[in-house]
């Protein structure tokens, strides 16, 4: 079978179903296959992710070392957060938009086949990363949005579910009640005051021993966003990007600022020019800061928002950088761990 299976070929392949099922992967890109002998590895296997992906990098690394495809492994990693109701930035339990509706974004790229998939403003489906993979795998398109993205997901067998948890609903109600002192809602005490609107996301990038690379980014978007807003996570070339000859990169933070610089793509292009992953991320952050609107800057010119970039290259080297001090998750063959990012500014993020 080829790496990129048609829907008919995959469903007809009982062996592929059994092998992929053993690893717990739905809609696999391909069945698992034996790793090359260690002496013939083309790259050092590695998985990196945003800081909320510590469990995910362990899962993805284990899958890669069992012969799973890099995109299958990366998506299984981010699904841990998509299904976790305590992660209010991703999937089930994510903070809703201004109307109290959870709308999810995701995109992915598969280096070996040079294909991508994405969904935006998806409602009622807990794992948009999987839906993005299905868009890539089963259609000639890249990006589906809104109600039609949901219809596609249901046609692919995904189950419609309520995404707004009690915790996220309570946070939204507090935000709405305190939004305008002249409206008809009474101000209420906020037990969890937010100095910044949450913008969390999860990005995951993976390199296999044979040098194949993939990336995925998924999010619930910035809390209380304008309904229909799609951030960088769903934008191929911004929220994530992969070139199987060079490397992969992804982002978390203020999506609009990342879209303006095509961050994922620019980092990979910086690596193409010879930069190491951390340097490539750092250089792109300088572009983010330079293009920030004046309303987003402090009096001394520092961005009021956070942006974190992660990157891997073909050899399995990895790195991450942020505007303000942060961490990222990595597994490079030793153990899953958190590491500090390089950062532009040593001070905490301004209020």
pLDDT at residue number 190: 56
Tens of pLDDT along 263-272? 999 999 999 9
301/339 Cα distance (integer angstroms)? 28
Note if the pTM is more than 0.75.
Answer: yes
pLDDT at 5: 47
Which among 57, 66, 94 has a CA at the least distance from the CA of 201? 94
Q: Which domains does the chain have, with CATH numbers?
A: 43-343 (3.60.20.30)
Quote the pLDDT of residue 179.
79
Residues catalogued as catalytic: 199
pLDDT of 339? 98
Task: Check if the beta carbon of residue 329 is closer than 8 Å to that of residue 48.
Answer: yes
Q: What is the pLDDT of residue 14?
A: 42
Interhelix angle for 128-138 vs 146-155, to 10°? Answer: 80
Residue numbers in the chain where pLDDT is lower than 50? 1-5, 7-17
């Amino acid at each position: 079978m080829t790496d990129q299976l048609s829907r008919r070929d995959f469903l007809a392949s009982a062996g592929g179903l059994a092998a992929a099922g053993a690893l717990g992967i739905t809609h696999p890109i391909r069945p698992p296959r034996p790793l090359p002998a260690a002496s013939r590895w083309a790259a050092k296997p590695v998985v990196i992710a945003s800081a909320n992906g510590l469990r995910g990098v362990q899962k993805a690394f284990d899958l890669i070392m069992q012969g799973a495809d890099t995109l299958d492994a990366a998506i299984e990693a981010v699904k841990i957060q998509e299904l976790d109701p305590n992660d209010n930035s991703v999937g089930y339990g994510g903070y809703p938009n201004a109307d109290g509706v959870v709308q999810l974004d995701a995109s992915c790229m598969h280096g070996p086949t040079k294909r991508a998939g994405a969904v935006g403003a998806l409602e009622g489906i807990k794992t948009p990363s999987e839906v993005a993979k299905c868009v890539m795998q089963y259609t000639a398109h890249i990006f589906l949005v809104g109600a039609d993205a949901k219809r596609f997901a249901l046609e692919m067998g995904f189950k419609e579910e309520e995404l707004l948890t009690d915790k996220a609903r309570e946070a939204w109600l507090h935000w709405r009640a305190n939004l305008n002192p002249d409206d008809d809602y009474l101000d209420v005490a906020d037990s969890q005051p937010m100095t910044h609107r949450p913008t969390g996301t999860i990005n995951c990038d993976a390199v296999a021993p044979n040098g194949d690379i993939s990336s995925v980014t998924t999010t619930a978007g910035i809390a209380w966003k304008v309904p229909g807003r799609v951030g960088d996570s769903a934008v191929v070339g911004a929220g994530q990007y992969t070139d199987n000859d060079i490397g992969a990169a992804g982002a978390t933070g203020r999506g609009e600022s990342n879209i303006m610089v095509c961050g994922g793509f620019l980092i990979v292009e910086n690596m193409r020019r010879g930069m190491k992953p951390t340097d490539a991320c750092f250089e792109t952050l300088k572009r983010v800061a330079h293009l920030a609107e004046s309303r987003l800057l402090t009096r001394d010119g520092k961005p009021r928002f956070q942006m974190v970039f992660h990157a891997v290259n073909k050899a399995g080297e990895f790195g991450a950088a942020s505007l303000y001090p942060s961490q990222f998750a990595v597994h490079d063959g030793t153990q899953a761990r958190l590491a500090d990012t390089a950062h532009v500014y040593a001070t905490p993020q301004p209020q």
